[in-house]
Structure 1
């Protein structure tokens, strides 16, 4: 089977306490994890110290590749800067390598791309010294929803360059959001993380797809995860492929390890077949 660098986002199994989630990742042979600040009753929201999170990761032999996420990063303000400082400090103290930066999805969409780039540039200029000071990377994530204020990775790259931020910023390529945005451009040389999830429902229109439709990637996937991953790899991307499904039905799986393993096998076999 083709060797791929799989990782696991806690949203894959948010019902698991952090220690059990780390154990799941180790069990799957995918010892890179993304922890989140939006899962109630779990670190980070339950007050667990970053040092305790780092110790727990070390006990289970896993590496925290990111904390997900600073929301609405491109709506910059003093409050957003303070939130970024707090999360960046948590990242550094826990041993996390990066902080995911999610674009504003509130529906406040600037009318022209120039304004979108300018807003993102202002935010990245504010974020850069915070991230550099803590020795972590910022992973810019555009969302494909029409309500998002930064749908295009092309515009995100323009903002990164305008902020002179290539030393501290990378892109998150989310296969779901890339498909929704309909953007042809790939930036494998600037991609620091790939989020993978699939949509199987044949009846849902692309513009109506939501997080609740996101499953593990399998044979019925409509997003062409395999094609997207193959194209990124051809372009030189060799980093983590992190499972990030959101569908509620995945919360009650009797054996989440088996379900994720099946998806890992499917993706690996399909990519190997393409390469043969």
Structure 2
């Protein structure tokens, strides 16, 4: 089994400036980061030019793996197209490899038939936008019961149906995989893995939400190490990117030490 290659998503420490976030990655010996377009007062949202963010990443010696994310991507409208083009331009100019695509997650667009058609429409429209900018689209099914795209199989089938295998990959999120209860893995179609743990002993699976998502430790209930081992065993060789949403993680005085400890726990578990 190959060793996991770790990365960090800006969600691990959303209060850090891009420069400090990139330095955090460097201090952990990591080469890859994910930046976000949903952090108030931070890059992208506050209009920091892509060239400036790119220069900061180069200075720190890290690669920007993705921009996270084009929201509601499978509800294709003229507004969404405009948003996709702006975000894809930014991703290209910042030197990112991929754009994360997040589906509608409010209980709408869930009907059988409608759901699959909407997904194909969006992927078909996104394909040339991504192609023109040399980007990959990372499709991220969410495990929540209200989500319009819960199933990785459904995403994989849609990608194949539009001939998009060279332009789209799946995001395997260990939290969402656990919630969706879909046993199948698609290692060959997976471009990125998001990792986070849930340790709260009292929350039921159907009540698990983003604020429960902490760093992976010995008390993890999501089976992160089992999921990672299976992906590695089946040939996945991409990044495992930390994406916790719990406030207690995001407000840590020393995120470096906590991330280091989590990486050590995971590595020990995978041996």
Please give the TM-score of this superposition, normalised by the length of structure 2.
0.98
Residue-by-residue CA offset, 1:234-254 (whole Å, 9 max, x unaligned): 111011000000001112212
Which position in structure 1 is the counterpart of 2:94? 94
Which position in structure 2 is the counterpart of 1:151? 150
5+ residue gaps in structure 1? Answer: none
5+ residue gaps in structure 2? Answer: none
Q: How do residues 9-20 of structure 1 correspond to structure 2 at under 5 angstroms?
A: 9-20=9-20
Please give the TM-score of this superposition, normalised by the length of structure 1.
0.96
Q: Secondary structure at the match of 1:263?
A: helix
Query: In structure 1, how many angstroms separate the alpha carbons of the residues matched to 2:146 and 2:76?
Result: 18
Query: In structure 1, how many angstroms separate the alpha carbons of the residues matched to 2:28 and 2:3?
Result: 13
1:263 aligned onto 2:262: yes
Contact 2:85 2:129 in 1 (8 A): yes
Residue-by-residue CA offset, 1:212-233 (whole Å, 9 max, x unaligned): 0000000000000000011111
Which position in structure 1 is the counterpart of 2:233? 234
Residue-by-residue CA offset, 1:176-225 (whole Å, 9 max, x unaligned): 00000000111000000000000000100000000000000000000000
Query: In structure 2, how many angstroms separate the alpha carbons of the residues matched to 1:88 and 1:130?
Result: 7
Query: In structure 1, how many angstroms separate the alpha carbons of the residues matched to 2:77 and 2:188?
Result: 30
Q: How far off its partner does 1:117 sit?
A: 1.6
Contact 1:117 1:158 in 2 (8 A): no
Number of residue pairs aligned between Structure 1 and Structure 2: 270
Which position in structure 2 is the counterpart of 1:248? 247
Query: In structure 1, how many angstroms separate the alpha carbons of the residues matched to 2:3 and 2:173?
Result: 20
Which position in structure 1 is the counterpart of 2:185? 186
Query: In structure 1, how many angstroms separate the alpha carbons of the residues matched to 2:251 and 2:137?
Result: 32
Q: Secondary structure at the match of 1:6?
A: strand
The worse-fitting range, judged by mean Cα deviation, of 2-11 and 238-247 is 2-11
Runs of 4+ in 1 over 2 A off after TM superposition: none
Q: Secondary structure at the match of 1:80?
A: helix
Contact 1:189 1:237 in 2 (8 A): yes
Which position in structure 2 is the counterpart of 1:33? 33
Q: How far off its partner does 1:115 sit?
A: 2.6
